[in-house]
Each structure stands twice: as structure tokens, then as C-alpha cells.
Amino acid sequence: MARPRKPLLSRDRIVEAAGALVDTEGLEAVSTRRLAAALGVSGPSLYNHFRTKDEILDAVADAVSARVDLSMFDGGGTDWRGDLHAWAHSYRDALADHPNIVPVLARGPGRRPAGLRLADAVFGAMTAVGWPPAQATRIGALMRYFILGSAVASFARGFVDDRTAYDPADYPHLGQAHLLAERGREVDEGAFETGLTALLDGLALQYEALKETA
């Protein structure tokens, strides 16, 4: 009986294996040796698809960007605030399962196709409803700062589930801080929505002022 053939090595298989390593062990875990072992191939064979580790990490980051829903920008509608709100939640959801890749995404899209499509969609939607190009650029940057920052780490889980860690003599206002860890998702998602609403409220005021002077 013939031996089963090994799956052919491909960019997609390399990106999938690298993404799994990033998710479970962090960026530093990705190496040619680790990836080759995970894929059952020799190290040099990876270089037929990627020249460097950075190229692999870029591809992993772009695979995450590709999961962000951009369909809300397709219709060219006038509800720019609602579109940004929906997009921000989709972007954060995509990052929530892959926080370790955020530092790579934070470098900017570079030449990554999905990242560039994302930037193009936001900029195009903002200029289409009358935001000046310079301000549309700033809006895209502002939203990215906010969303990526929210995905880096959990605020709530930064506190330990131990009442004795927060002695009222030292921290008079942290008497309930030990409860935050068990409510991490609720706190973090609520904080994101609070910040997003405040951000969009501020932009709406600027937009109204812009229209009045147009």
C-alpha cells in the first residue's frame, strides 16, 4: 500500500501554523525551526514561500485584517457614524481572538493587501460623505489607535481576584477592584462601547460644524 502523500506546503499552511504559534506562545515563538517542525518539512523549504520571518508575521497579521467586515461601506450611504460603529466592533472582534498579533498590525498596513483594503474603505467612506481628505485620514488613524489599543490587553483582568491585594489604607478607592477579574469581558466590552460612543459623538460635532461652514 502506498504511503499517504504529505499535504503540499503552501503559503496558507505556513500562515495557519504561524498564526497558531503566535496565538498560543506569542510573536517570539515564530521561527523557521518551529514552523518547519509543525508542518513536517525542512526549514529551507519555507523560503520558497517567504523570505523572512517578518514576511510571515505580516501575512499572519493580514489574515486577521481580512476577517474584518467592510460591507457596511459598500453602499456609499450617508450614515458614516453608524458605519464606523459597526466597523469598529467588527475590527475589535477580529482582534479579540488574536491579541498577540496586534503589535505587528500597529506598524501600519505597509504592503499588506487586506490592511490596505481596510484603510482604503474607511478613507473612501469618509471622503464620500464630505469629510476633507486630511480629516478623513485623521479619522482613520484615530479609529485604528483606539481599536488596536483596546485589543492589546484586558483592563479588568489586570486586577487580581484577591481582596487583600487592595488594602483600603493604601488604595482607598479600590475596594471592589478584586471583583473586576471575574467580570473581565463585561467591563472591557463596556469600556470599548463607552469610548467608541464618546469618540463618535465628538466626530459628529465636528461634522456638523463642518457642514455649517461649507
pLDDT value at position 152? 87
Q: What is the CA radius of gyration of the chain?
A: 22
pLDDT value at position 1? 46
Angle at 105 between CA 183 and CA 71, to 5 degrees: 80
Q: Tell me the C-alpha distance between 77 and 96, whole Å.
A: 28
pLDDT value at position 42? 83
Q: Tell me the C-alpha distance between 119 and 2, whole Å.
A: 49
**Max CA separation in the chain (angstroms):** 79
Q: Tell me the C-alpha distance between 60 and 48, whole Å.
A: 17
> Is there a contact between 53 and 40 (Cβ–Cβ < 8 Å)?
no
Q: What is the pTM of this model?
A: 0.89
Dihedral sign for Cα 112, 113, 114, 120, please. positive
Tens-digit pLDDT profile for the chain (214 aa)?
445 455 678 999 999 999 999 999 999 999 988 999 989 888 788 888 999 999 999 999 999 999 999 999 998 778 999 999 999 999 999 999 899 999 999 999 999 999 999 999 999 999 999 999 999 999 999 999 999 999 988 899 899 999 999 999 999 999 999 999 888 889 999 999 999 999 999 999 999 999 888 7
pLDDT digits (tens, 9 = 90+) for 136-176: 999 999 999 999 999 988 899 899 999 999 999 999 999 99
